Amino acid sequence: MRSIIKTPLAALAATTMLAGTAFADGHAALSGTLRIMSDMGNPAPRAVIESLAAEFDEMHPDLTVELDIVDREAWKTQIRNALSASPPDVVNWYAANRMGPYVDAGLFMDISDMWEAGDFEGLGAVQGAMTLNDRQWGVPYTYYQWGIYYREDIFNELGLSEPATWEEEVANCQVIVDSGRACYSIGTRFLWTAGGWFDYLNMRTNGFDFHMALARGEVEWTDDRVRQTFANWRELIDMGAFLADHQNYSWQEALPFVVNGEATAYLIGNFAVPHLREAGLTDDQIDFYQFPAITEGMAMGEDAPTDTFHIPSGAENVPAAQEFLRFVTSAEVQTRINGPDALGQLPINAMSEVADDEFLQQGFDMLANNATGGIAQFFDRDFPAEMAALGMEGLQEFMVFPDNLDDILNRLEQSRQRIYE
Amino acid sequence: MTVTPLLFLLPGVLFFAVYVVIPIFQSFQISLYDWDGLGEATYVGLENYSELVGDRAFEISLWNNVKWLVLYLLAIPAGLFIALFLNQTVAGIRLYKSLFFFPFVLSQVVVGLVFSWFYLPREGLLNAVLGFFGAGSINVLGDPTLATYGIIAAGLWPQTAYCMILYLTGLNAVDPEQIEAARLDGAKGRHMLWYVVIPQLRPATFIAFVVTIIGALRSFDLISIMTNGGPFGSTRVLSFYMFEQALSEYGFRMGYGSAIAVVLFMIMLVFIGYFLWSMWNEERQSGH
């Protein structure tokens, strides 16, 4: 990331740092090369990581920051090679059980001492998502809420309001189906979208703690409580609530159905909002509500997937990598990189400001005040990789052939006994 | 005895050993371990194989491989038929021939995309045609009983073109005197084709058979583009399942993936053995 303009800027950075002597002292030692390998390959995230790397480079005159950006999907399979052969100093990944294989293989550095020393002020709420085997293995840098994004104008046209209970949700859906639309758009071709539905239905039916116990393999898939979740799901399937032929579409291919009004709502992450806006929907036409309660009095659990930075065990410039983690998680940087003109998501630092955006504000409020059950990562991040893959395939099959449920659950139960042993 | 031929062989042998032969034996070895590709491997003997026996996804993949191998061979008679049809002298025949050959030039990925649009449940051309004739719409790639056949049909399109071109060159080599002699003896139509033309096309048929079998076993890209193995795993073949188990986003079972690879290798070995045997036979005969 060395550039021609580096020298004057570095000088400027040095002078500003002189103002805070303690600050400058703590960082003067950083030298050598910091190699960052990032999966922030989409346009907006790419701009963010590039500017972060450039800024960090300027802050530390003796340090050269090298940045490699990899396609986000490709990184999911490339990370294992990157970590084992000449690992970089900082990498991107995901929180919770998705860290499992790399933690177990000793490829992520244990940074519990940094967490204990209070290096990450304001991150207390997200520490759990970074914890495996009672140790911390990285830091988060952004997260986003899941929930039901819906066509406000169609709801108004049909005289519907945001439901808070399952009965209201089902009654709303009946009105929508009767008007010739599907209630929920969904594309299950790549399976994981069905995982979102299961997460919410299970957390609302049986609670967050039960859902996590299932993820840890402590509950049988054939348990009656799990069956109750599927029974609730089936209620919607039998009504014709879901978009037909959803097994053919990716989540992006299911978006046009919301845009052209053939489906009125979409259970998805906040990353769908920019696409809906680009497709021409105004903020008057789309709105957001929290997945309604099913079992009365059950504390609400929410999915809020968190993206992370880690230091590989084989990192060469550990001090610089540690400083980079402190840098990206600081309140000021968090506010900036999660802003509407950057990632457009939620900052993980409690002292940061949430962007002035209808959906981010609602999501932040929901996660801060009405997610008392707990915050989950997502089906494929909370369940071990193999269970997640088999599980999501079963969920898709259930959505297409609900009558196969017994067979699906027996199969998943067999796999559970093998995978968690 | 001179060393020169050996020296010339050396680079080829070296690359073949490093990239083909040694990895085959490594696969055999890894298939006996439980290994996530990252940490320590544990020796489990034949456990991966015994798990394969009871694995329904493996069974489905194996059957899909069989379907691919059998149905893909349809490309041979279809290619022969088109070649015979195009083997005439009319104005612009070169243009027609190249049009028929066109699909083979396309990348498999493009073929897959075109066909998945063709099959789309609502906007697809197939359903537009079916709707025109008053038939109900079908979702070929979304239906677990139809999806594999839908992908094979897509694969047959370029493969037929390939077989056609092989037969077209073969037809050029058919001896006109034999045709003449057969005609004098009163052979025509079916009999002429079966007893006179096809025997002379034997070399072309052999090559068409080889490339079609190889094509059927290389169905990975079409499946990945068109259904990604779905719906719920019904269109996987062994190579796709191996990739999913060992190398994909959620795949951390190198040992299990290797066991699948070994089974796939054994299936291929049957064909490779047959090809080698028939080539050896041919050489021996021509040597006389």
pLDDT at B90: 84
Among A76, A102, A396, beta carbon nearest to B232: A396
Is there a domain that residue A361 lies in? Answer: no
Q: Are residues A241 and A388 in the same domain?
A: yes
Q: Are residues A216 and A297 in the same domain?
A: yes
CB A49 within 8 A of CB A69: yes
Is there a domain that residue A375 lies in? Answer: no
Q: Are residues A62 and A170 in the same domain?
A: no
Is there a domain that residue A379 lies in? Answer: no
The residue extents of the domains of chain B are 31-286
Q: Are residues A205 and A238 in the same domain?
A: yes
Q: Are residues A249 and A291 in the same domain?
A: yes
Q: Are residues A108 and A130 in the same domain?
A: yes
List the domain range (segments joined by +) for residue A221: 146-303+384-419
Is there a domain that residue A367 lies in? Answer: no
Is there a domain that residue A312 lies in? Answer: yes
What are the structure tokens assigned to A406, written together? 């017994």
List per-block mean pLDDT (blocks of 10 residues) for chain A, which spans 421 residues: 41 41 51 93 90 94 93 89 90 91 92 93 87 93 94 95 95 96 94 95 95 94 96 96 93 94 95 90 94 93 94 94 95 92 90 90 91 91 91 95 96 92 79
What are the structure tokens assigned to B150, written together? 């839908």
pLDDT at B1: 66
Instruction: Kindly tell me if the per-residue pLDDT of B138 is higher than 90.
Output: no
Is there a domain that residue A369 lies in? Answer: no
Q: Do B248 and A77 touch (CB under 8 A)?
A: yes
Chain B segment 215-274 residues within 8 A of A by beta carbon are 227-228, 230-233, 244, 247-253
Chain A residue whose CA is closest to B230: A189
Pairing of β A306-310 and β B33-34: unpaired
Burial of A15 (0-12, 13-18, 19+ CB in 10 A): exposed
pTM (2 d.p.): 0.86
CATH of the domain at A256: 3.40.190.10
Q: Are residues A273 and A156 in the same domain?
A: yes
Residue ranges of chain A whose CB lies within 8 Å of a chain B CB: 76-77, 80, 83-84, 101-102, 104-107, 189-191, 244-245, 247-248, 380, 385-386, 388-389, 393-394, 396-397, 400, 411
Instruction: Kindly tell me if the per-residue pLDDT of B58 is higher than 80.
Output: yes
Is there a domain that residue A200 lies in? Answer: yes
pLDDT tens per residue across span B164-221: 999 999 998 888 888 889 888 888 888 888 888 888 898 899 999 989 998 998 889 9
What angle do helix axes B147-172 and B56-72 make, rounded to 10 degrees?
Answer: 30
* B132 phi and psi angles, rounded to 5 deg: -60, -35
Full DSSP string of A281-292: --TTTEEEEPPP
Which chain B residues contact residue A380 at CB under 8 A?
250
pLDDT at A15: 41
pLDDT at A17: 42
- Number of domains chain A contains: 2
Question: Can you tell me the distance from the alpha carbon of A310 to that of A93, in angstroms, rounded to the nearest whole number?
Answer: 7
Return the CATH architecture of domain B31-286: Orthogonal Bundle (1.10)
Residue B288 binned pLDDT confidence (cut-offs 50, 70, 90): low
Q: CA quadruple A214, A216, A217, A218: dihedral positive or negative?
A: negative
Q: Are residues A207 and A172 in the same domain?
A: yes
**What is the ipTM metric for this complex?**
0.85
